[in-house]
Amino acid sequence: MKIATYAVRNYQFTLVLFIMAIALGVNTLLTMPRSEDPATNSPMFPVIVIYPGTSPSDMEELVVKPLEKQIYSLENIKRIKTQIKDGVAILTVEYKYESNVDEKFQELTREVNGMRSELPAEILSIEVKKLVASDVNVIQTALISENASRKSLKKTAEDLQEQLEKLPELKNVKIHGLSEEQVRIDLRTDKLAQLHLPLNAVVGTIQSEIANIPGGSIDVGTKSLNVKTSGNYVSLDEIANTIIYASEGKTIPLKDVADVYYDFSETKHITRLNGHRCVFVTAAQKEGFNISETQKKYQKVLEEFDETLPSNMDMVNHFDQGDNVNDRLGGLGIDFLIAILLVAITLLPLGGRASLVVMISIPLSLAIGLVLLNVMGFNINQLSIVGLVVALGLLVDDSIVVVENIERWLREGHSRMDATLMATQQIGLSVVGCTVTLIIAFLPLVFLPEVSGDFIRSLPMAVIASVLASMVVSLTIIPFLSSRLLKQHDGKHDGNIFLRALQKGISGTYSVLLDKALKRPIITMLIALGVFVGSLALFPVIGFSLFPASEKPQFMVDVVAPLQTNLKHTNEITEYVEKELKKIPEIHYFATNVGKGNPPVYYNVAQENERSDFAQVFVQLDKHASVDKRQEITDHLRSIFNEYPGAKIEVKNFEQGPPMVAPVEVRLSGDNLDSLRKLSQEVEYLLKEIPGTMYVNNPIGNLKSDFKLVISKEKARALGINTVDIDRTVRLAIAGVDLGTFSDEDNDEFSMLLTTHKGERATLDVFNQLYINNQQGQAILLSQIARLELESSPLFINHYNKVRTVSVSAFAQKGVLVDNLIKEVITKMDEKKLPKGYSYVMGGEYESRNESFGGFNTIITITVFLFVAVLILLFKTFKSTLIVLSVIPLGIVGAVIALWMTGNSLSFVAVIGLIALAGIEVKNSILLVDFTNHLREEGRTLDEAIREAGEVRFLPIVLTSLTAIGGLIPIAISTNPLISPLAIVLIGGLISSTLLSRVVTPIIYKLIPPKVEVKK
């Protein structure tokens, strides 16, 4: 090839490019952004509507339906999931994945804001949020103290927050587990009643005092000066002395009818670390930064801040994603070095010098591959590194083929220059064809749709970039180095001891086997077909799964107390969980969150909203704990917690892949809530009866109980009391009225809450002495005109694409395949007769799988035809193309057997391995068929050409397969279940295809020999 000739003849230019590639690669490696997982930005936006005091059914009619109707009419809407609770509605709007995130966020914000005038005026807020993958926290630090005041903890946490916010790499620095400081005004309603003071007068007076209206500006001479008006409150005394009534020289200050004092808002989120009282400070990293470099900066801030802490306070940085990333990337780095060592061992038959030339292609190809990855916008993460490790075994293939061919010409007595140029000329087109087919094999993975494709994309791109670089290196640098470094042989040379042993083995076993097979081609083909068909029978045995559980030594414990359990009792249940966790020595940290979920620490787990009947404990084992040890601990805890009476305590591992409610999810749809609840209870029972399910959840299985204030409207009207005044007074007594904010002399901002005398939370006692003023100012006891009654109502209402929906879900027990559970659930649901107007669809893993492989058939079809097109372009005949492609089924044999032997299912990543395997197999097959055609062109008979090509090409094919296997072994034996199936599939497939195709491909060639013209 001309490019090889040019590189060899102009070696100075080639050498400069060689050094430049290394320098660029090293610089890119040091400066590329790093993260644990690839960044995925889904066009998904929660629309949060807060409308205090509204029931779910009222919220549905007044707010949700108009919003859903408007939003659903927008272009490229994929689905809208809505959850409606008392006073809150969350519409999760998801666009088609290919949509531009920023454009759709702006569009949705415009539409929602445009709807504001058509919605009730009493709505407190409507907010559209953008979900960004980089919002996952990189640190979670606990400030621990058993006796520090809440004010002291708040001040310290805010100081740390301020220090971390100064780092340009960090964002979303938040404090968790601490109530907001406020000024509380506790009205004595009996005193107001005695003085005939209406509640509205008190509220209106205070709100008028905190109004801050700018006065504008005036001209004074040549200057323009601003005029400052009265402004806001600046002290507690000023609030207490506010005159709320003045008449005929008589004034009543606020302090005469209320107690004014500093306090904290109601506790809704309790946090502890290892059972000790604390607050959490968390921070996320902005996109485009290197987590390892960012870690150095925030660790320095934390170390310096630790020295300033009060003596009764301690700081523990118990979650640090920087450590996780460094450990993971470091582990993959070790795997990388082991892979290089194994590749070097497999190259021994080539000889010392030839092996050195081939090994030089590794850093060169990887350096160029890294530069290309960086240019395409990818960062260094676990999947891009796996892609580079996979490429490690493949990128030497081209160099091996070129160097082995040059060595063969040298052994025949040619000079180094002639051998280099003629050998490269002979093999060059095949090398290009092999590389192109390999790239085509990985292309389907590049174009996988949805978030799964985005998540996995850096892996195939790393392989493609490195393999493309290796092709260029093998046709430029490698011929140049070969012409300078390879040893000149005088006369016939049989190679080193390793090569002689390998060739002896080839002639002693392979040649004999090939001869026998060529004599009985039909029987050989039938045996091969039988082996392939037999392997297909293993697919139902191994089953299918989407994504495995994470291998991290971390898990969550979710505490779900009975419906409407108060925070105090939920906390007591959580303390029992903590007591059990303390007994396990391998547990390093456990972060407790009562009333709310743990802050986000994993890419597909969102934080649970505030709920008094929910708690979550984030558990971290010793970082050296194995996956088996974690499984043993979680199984032990499940056996204990399953026996706990009166609450559900669920131990859950982190899962890889797109976020989902649960692996098994039955989504029921219909109009009537009572009918839906009845159906959901039937499906809940159905799931519990299926062996292998656990943690079955039916969110609307029970109704919640509420107190309803029943007003005697006749009495109220007779006494001159408006219903709205009753409602306001009740809200004042229970929740309180938010008056606004004020800043003190230190510029600290406080919210102001007007309420009645009660503890942190209201009890039934608040109704005993609650007065309402009538229009004449006379005080009337609430109990005279109203009474409390218990009533049942739905906890929440869910919609899926505007239709009322309920999801009943379940998890799979250890050792049970989710795919098998889903099949059984579908069978039983199809047998079940649903009422007219009601239907079901499967969500969870079933839905995620369909979305992950949606449009995949089109991609595969295009790939197959591209394969065929490239092979026809290379060989110019359909027969040669068919012979090359016939090797693909032989790899499937070894792949499925390897999965079965290692106990792995056919997962999303294993499917990726099968697709990639096809390209690697075809690459090897091209070399054999091309050389057979070449020998026939030189005048060999069909059988002679088949035998000679089989023996001559056996060595480079075996070497390329062994190097690929050597590079993959560290990944295959790793503890990461996300990537190990990929390596297992490739290793198993390479072994079977290398062994079987060396016999089967020559047989097919004999049965359907392509037409070849003999050169004169």
pLDDT at residue 228, rounded to an integer: 62
Q: How far is CA 280 from CA 270, 317, 597, 749, in A?
A: 10, 9, 12, 21
pLDDT tens, 710-721?
Answer: 888 888 888 888
Q: 787 with 727, same domain? A: yes
pLDDT at 496: 66
Q: How confident is the model at residue 947 (pLDDT cuts 50, 70, 90)?
A: confident
Q: Please check the confidence at residue 508 and state whether its pLDDT lies above 70.
A: no
Mean pLDDT for the chain? 84
Token pair of 3, please?
A: 């490019």
Domain membership of residue 764 as a residue range: 198-215+227-256+704-793
User: Is 897 part of any domain?
Assistant: yes
Q: Which of 776, 793, 810 is the last residue of a domain?
A: 793
Dihedral of alpha carbons 730, 734, 740, 743, sign: positive
Establish if 772 belongs to a structural domain.
yes
Lowest mean pLDDT among 290-299, 340-349, 517-526, 527-536: 340-349
Phi-psi region of 876 (alpha: psi -120 to 50; beta: other; left: phi over 0): left
Pair (878, 979) in one structural domain: yes
Does any domain span residue 990?
A: yes
Domain co-membership, 506 together with 426: no
Is the per-residue pLDDT at 616 higher than 90?
yes
Residue whose entry in the numeric block shows the structure tokens 């039955």: 666
Q: 470 and 528: one domain?
A: no
Q: Average the pLDDT over 764-776 and give the result.
A: 77
Question: Last residue of some domain: 775, 793, 811?
Answer: 793
Q: How many CB atoms are located within 10 Å of the residue 105 CB?
A: 20
Query: CATH number of the domain that 58 lies in?
Result: 3.30.70.1430
Do 1002 and 858 lie in one domain? The reply is: yes
Assign 544 a pLDDT band (cuts: 50, 70, 90): confident
User: Is the residue at 667 inside a domain?
Assistant: no
Name the one residue in this structure whose structure tokens are 């402004």.
Answer: 231
pLDDT at 141: 95
**Do both 356 and 468 map to the same domain?**
yes
Q: What six digits make up the tokens of 995?
A: 């062994």
Q: Same domain, yes or no, for 445 and 475?
A: yes
- Residue 569 pLDDT greater than 90, yes or no: yes
The two beta strands, 749-756 and 181-187, are: parallel
Residue 230 has pLDDT above 70, yes or no: no
Q: Is residue 860 part of a domain?
A: yes
Q: Are strands 243-247 and 258-264 parallel, antiparallel or unpaired?
A: unpaired
Task: Flag whether pLDDT at 258 surpasses 80.
Answer: yes
Query: For 780, which DSSP code?
Result: E
Q: Tell me the CATH number at 1004.
A: 1.20.1640.10
Same domain, 206 and 74: no
Domains: count for the chain: 4
Domain co-membership, 878 together with 1003: yes
Q: Are 430 and 397 in contact (CB under 8 A)?
A: no
In a domain, 907, yes or no: yes
Query: In terms of domains, do 51 and 89 share one?
Result: yes
Residue 365 and residue 506 in one domain: no
Specify the CATH number for the domain of residue 754: 3.30.2090.10
Q: Predicted confidence band at 447 (pLDDT cuts at 50, 70, 90)? A: confident
Domain termination site, one of 443, 465, 487: 487
**In degrees to the nearest 10, what's the CA dihedral of 954, 955, 960, 966?**
110
Query: Using 50, 70 and 90 to split pLDDT, how confident is the model at 229?
Result: low
In a domain, 98, yes or no: yes
Tell me the C-alpha to C-alpha distance, in Å, between residue 1000 and each of 177, 784, 930, 933, 935.
Answer: 67, 96, 16, 17, 19
The answer to whether the Cα torsion of 669, 670, 671, 677 is positive or negative is negative
334, HSE (Cβ side, Cα atoms, 13 Å): 7
Across residues 283-307, what is the average pLDDT? 91
Same domain (yes/no): 370, 423: yes
Surface-to-core class of residue 292, CB atoms within 10 Å of its CB (0-12 exposed, 13-18 middle, 19+ buried): middle
Domain-located, residue 807: no
